[in-house]
Amino acid sequence: MNYPDVKKAKEMICEIGKRMYHREYVAANDGNISLKVEDNKILATPTGVSKGFMTEEMISELDLDGNWNGIGMKPTSEIKMHLRVYKENEDVGAVVHAHPPVATAFSVANIELTKPILIENVLLLGPIHIASYAKPGTEEVPQSIAPYCRDYKGVLLANHGALTWGRDLIQAYHRLESMEHYAKILMYSTQVLGSKNELSKEQIEDLKK
């Protein structure tokens, strides 16, 4: 894995934080971001700070066991679920957590985003399941997402929000955007228009080829 240098990585985290905030994927101090910069070193967003107003000096530095080296502000209390993704899937270089309104509404309604209705989502995102409810900041959260970290690109957190990951921060964030876009289309087609046209198994296999 090609890791970004620390300064560039912190700039990227702040930029993605602003995008999340301005797209209303997070409100107030919600959400968190992490990015791997060495085999045993990640950068993470701080606790209690709006993702739209972060600076590079605020970004925390930790190892994969969650030990903070004192650089930056105190890391997010939800760092445990980020660490679990990295440990479950060594190909992951970044993790993003947010509360995009429509996708989060699906998590509240207990409706998984698994309907094959969009070509792009079938190819680039895949099915998004809902992890069982877990209290934020506890060990229950990493345990609930562990089954999805290797074979999927993201997961909904029951009554909470969304978590996506990727080989780098751009890919992880784009998967968050794709998840929310997919959730909107599914909502409009089923709840507003009253129907949906799903791709067949044959069409999906042909697309993958």
**Beta strands of 16-139 (E only): which ranges?**
32-38, 41-44, 60-62, 94-98, 130-131
CA distances (Å), 151 to each of 85, 88, 123, 128, 154, in order? 11, 10, 14, 11, 9
Which helix (H) or strand (E) covers residue 109, if one does? helix 101-109
Active-site residue identified among 38, 56, 78, 180: 78
Which helix (H) or strand (E) covers residue 155, if one does? strand 154-157
61 is an active site residue: no
CA 28, 30, 184: angle at the middle one, nearest 5?
Answer: 100
Find tokens 């985290």 and name the residue: 13
Number of H helices, E strands in the chain: 7, 7
Strands 130-131 and 154-157 come out as: parallel
Q: Which residues are catalytic?
A: 78
